[in-house]
Structure 1
Amino acid sequence: MSINLEGLRKLLESTGYPVFRDKAASNTKYPYIVYSFVSEDIKMAASRVHKTLPLYQVSLFTAGTEEEFRSIIHAFDNVRVPTTGVMAIIGDENDDTVTNYFVQVRVVEDVS
């Protein structure tokens, strides 16, 4: 099933984590979600752009474990929105060890 950007944001908010586009506010406590634009494909029909298909990365920044990311995966699964597999990058953030667990999800937008 497909989802648009507004639906993606509402879905992420339903997890109970704070949600931000591109960057969290300063001093936001972990865990929190950040979603960011990655790329965009287009769907053509009759030699015209019919739909845009943006790809977003959805990240959970946490000092915890991958278990915290499961609620995000379940939220996508409950509405049948496909994602990539979960990946992780470990880094330091304000002297804390923080993990960025992330997936990518394609959304579908109508062209006006």
Structure 2
Amino acid sequence: MCMMWQDLVFLAGSVLSIAFLAPTVRDTTANVPLGSSVPSMTIGAIYAGTYATMGMSFSALGSLGVATMWSLIVSYRSPGPHDGPANVVRFGRSLVRRASQSLIGSSTEHDQPVSGRSAD
């Protein structure tokens, strides 16, 4: 098996990311919004899978480490009353709720007269 130099470069980037995320994981007062941490966790996991399918084992492990750090931040450093992996579900539900409110809001906006007064 031949190692590509790019594999080591991506691994180095992941190791730096892990090092930069470690203080946030350790800081019990940190509050990282789920809107930042859940997408970052998801992207890290997708990258890990992508690298693995390309035979870039070190990059895949590094990205898995980054995804793990973000999952710890999601679980234990998000604002709100709950801790743990259920925060991912909470984030997903809030996205669905906001999307449906946006769709409902945009459909009712078209029914309103331009002046904002009701048609009664």
TM-score, normalised to structure 2's length? 0.25
Larger strand share, 1 or 2? 1
TM-score, normalised to structure 1's length? 0.26
Larger radius of gyration, structure 1 or 2?
Answer: 2
Larger helix share, 1 or 2? 2
